[in-house]
Amino acid sequence: MTNFPEAFDRFALQILSADLPDEAHRRFQSLARMTVLEKDRVLDFDYTRAQLVFVARGATKLVAHASESRDQIVAFHFVGDVFSIPERDNYSYSVCALTDCELLSMPAAEVLALAANEARILSHLLHNTTVSLQRCREKTIALGRKTAVERVAVFLLAMADRIGVEQGGVTSLDLPMSRRDIAESLGLTIETVSRQISLLREGGLIATSGRSGIALRDMAGLRASAGYLHEAA
Amino acid sequence: MTNFPEAFDRFALQILSADLPDEAHRRFQSLARMTVLEKDRVLDFDYTRAQLVFVARGATKLVAHASESRDQIVAFHFVGDVFSIPERDNYSYSVCALTDCELLSMPAAEVLALAANEARILSHLLHNTTVSLQRCREKTIALGRKTAVERVAVFLLAMADRIGVEQGGVTSLDLPMSRRDIAESLGLTIETVSRQISLLREGGLIATSGRSGIALRDMAGLRASAGYLHEAA
DNA sequence: CGCTTTTTTGAATCTGATCAAGACAGGTGG
DNA sequence: CCACCTGTCTTGATCAGATTCAAAAAAGCG
């Protein structure tokens, strides 16, 4: 579908300032590399250096390998998202395609060096990072203090917020990730995730269709199941 | 010990650029408010707006209230750290003093507005946020995929890195937080934390003295107990 | 329609939570 | 300086929620 210049322009629109001189624009462009990834494929990148990634199309998961056969999904990202892959330290990170997708990746340090005097760009990057931090903190709370049902409810609400489609008061979701992915994101097993989804369905809070279709039928009930603070506290 | 101008200067040194005109410097200064907090006291701030906090002295914990009697410590902060308190959303956040401390707090939005054209400042803030995000991601991995012993080992190594004192090849720690704090940070109970520390001691990996003293006697062993990737993988 | 893969469901097991004492640290006042 | 007292920490026994192991059911593909 897309070619590199088009993908880069969309990245530029969101992160680079509009009034950036062509010369500078080109320098940024020369840092970016586009990768077309089919579903389930892993992004190949230089893991000795932190990378900045723009999702031009599709959806991805950012996975940390805690040890053999223990992976933790750190975050999901969808079209238009910008995120960073940390360089390898105590863990090794990888980016995997949930659906066919197109990614622009560039070394974070070099982008930062180029942007060192561009307040507009830094401002966008800061905003992006702050949003990521906020999501990560909420995830921390879920993993640290919530039960299995609560985590699944939190997950569904968060996904509805990001990729849900509202129609006639009911929000529906087409989840691009498998039960395994959900489990690895929530620190649970696939069996537990499956059981909790069944419980929510039996409770009438959601309806499912096929593997990936979910309709949120009772938002208030879900928020309660998610263990969120009572509204207007 | 400190007065406001001195505390602010230290903040300025770290975050604001050196070449900032006095006029601008004063505008930032007028946003900041200093609070002297004794141990166990909670910072009073306007929770409808995200805040930026600088730790001029002492140590703090950033706590999220998941629901009554279920608190999750999101992060610990020590002298010189800058961090942000999110505005209240699904959870309410608070900052509590681990030791007597002095904090500078300012509304994040206003700081950002003032810094909108100051690339140096934005750059520092971005760096700070990136470090916070990195720590938060590591915490996510620990909470999602690690056992009780592993979490405690990860915690001790991370603390050693931040506030440990090396002396003759052995790193020792004087923990400013209680077992309860550790538990609330690791998503465990105090009993479990206590048991795991005892196990590490019995295994000869650490030695303890009093409530707060810990000596890391076997770094390699601790790294193994923490379930970190094998070096040079 | 048949095959493979993913998901769901069930039963047994295990890790960490809960409940309940007891030990210890460290501060207070005699 | 020591005895006492309070709150924190440790240890032990039991319990519960989630994992593991195992198998059946459903989804989606060719």
Spatial separation of the C-alpha atoms in residues B62 and B85, rounded to whole Å: 8
Who's near B42: CB < 8 A, 6+ residues apart?
A: B94, B95, B96, B97
Give backbone dihedrals phi and psi of A52, rounded to 5 degrees, phi first: -105, 135
Query: What residues of B are in contact with residue A64 (Cβ under 8 Å)?
Result: 137, 140-141
Tokens 């707060």 belong to residue: B212
| Percent of chain A topping pLDDT 70 | 98
Nearest to A122 among B71, B123, B228 (CB): B123
Q: What is the pLDDT of residue A231?
A: 56
Bases of chain C with protein Cβ within 7 A: 6-11, 15-20, 25-26
pLDDT tens across B188-204, in order?
999 999 999 999 999 99
Among the listed residues A84, A72, A223, A87, the one whose alpha carbon sits nearest the alpha carbon of residue A139: A72
CA of A204 to C1' of C2 (A): 35
CA of A26 to C1' of C21 (A): 71
Query: How is residue A99 written in tokens?
Result: 């659906």
pLDDT tens across A183-223, in order?
999 999 999 999 999 999 999 999 999 999 999 999 999 99
Q: Is the pLDDT of residue B39 over 50?
A: yes
Q: Given pLDDT bands bounded at 50, 70 and 90, which one contains residue B233?
A: very low
Q: What is the pLDDT of residue A233?
A: 40
CA of A189 to C1' of C10 (A): 16
* Closest nucleotide to the alpha carbon of B179, via C1': D9
Put simply, the answer to whether A122 touches B117 (Cβ < 8 Å) is no
Confidence (pTM):
0.95
* Closest nucleotide to the alpha carbon of A191, via C1': C8
Put simply, the answer to whether A137 touches B136 (Cβ < 8 Å) is yes
